[in-house]
Each structure stands twice: as C-alpha cells, then as structure tokens.
Homo-oligomer: A and B are copies of this chain.
C-alpha cells in the first residue's frame, strides 16, 4: 500500500490532468500507471519528473528499447520492485524478445558478480582506463 493516495483522473487538479493527458497521448494508453498517480500528490514533482522522463526516454542516439533495458538494469541493481516490473513490461511491449531478455539478465548477473569481486579486492584502475 502506497504512503500516499493514488490520484485518479476524475479527482485530479487541472495541472495534474494536463500531465496525465500528455502521458496518455505520448504513450498511447487509456490510463496512466500507478507511479504517476502517486506523484500526482505533488503537481510540481509530477510535471518535472514526467518532462524529464519524456525527454530522456525518447529515441535518440540510443533506441527506445535499449533505453528500457538500461532502465531495467539500474532498477534491478537498486532493487526497485515497482520499476523492475513496470520497465520489464515496457521493454516487452517495445519488442524485447525472450532471448534478448535472457541475455540482459545474464549481463546484469555477471556485472553484479564482478562488481563485488573488484570492490572486495580493491583492484587499482589500470592507467590506460584513466587517460
């Protein structure tokens, strides 16, 4: 259960509705997901966060699916339950294949293991990596 109420469109302030409208239009969905309904308790945070997500996640030098997979990797490393579920679903919706998902998981697992080993051993960074 969230620490705040989830604000539904019908009960939302005009500035919240404006953001919800933009999310629905941009993503072509009929309703926003719970994350935005929770943020809607603070319209300034809602707007700032959505504006940033929309800007950052649009295809550019990296395509939209690659960005979703990076988002999953970060969410898993931070162990965000909500984000892992929602971005895994988004990545599949954007065409991630099961084979891609499995390789993504394998890289996340591998990186987690070598991160721990390097941190434990205090391996000094090789000079060429620092130039």
Chain A residues within CB distance 8 Å of chain B: 1-4, 33-35, 38-39, 41-42, 44-45, 48-49, 52-53, 55-57, 60-62, 66-67, 69-89, 97-126, 128-131
**A107 neighbours in B (Cβ, 8 Å):** 56-57, 62, 67, 70-71, 74
Q: How many copies of this chain does the complex contain?
A: 6
Complex alpha-carbon distance, A103 and B60, angstroms: 8
Known: A106-B42, A111-B71, A124-B34. Is A79-B119 also a contact (CB below 8 A)? yes
Can you give 10 A-B contacts (C-beta < 8 A)? A35-B118, A38-B121, A39-B121, A45-B117, A61-B103, A71-B107, A80-B116, A82-B123, A88-B129, A112-B112
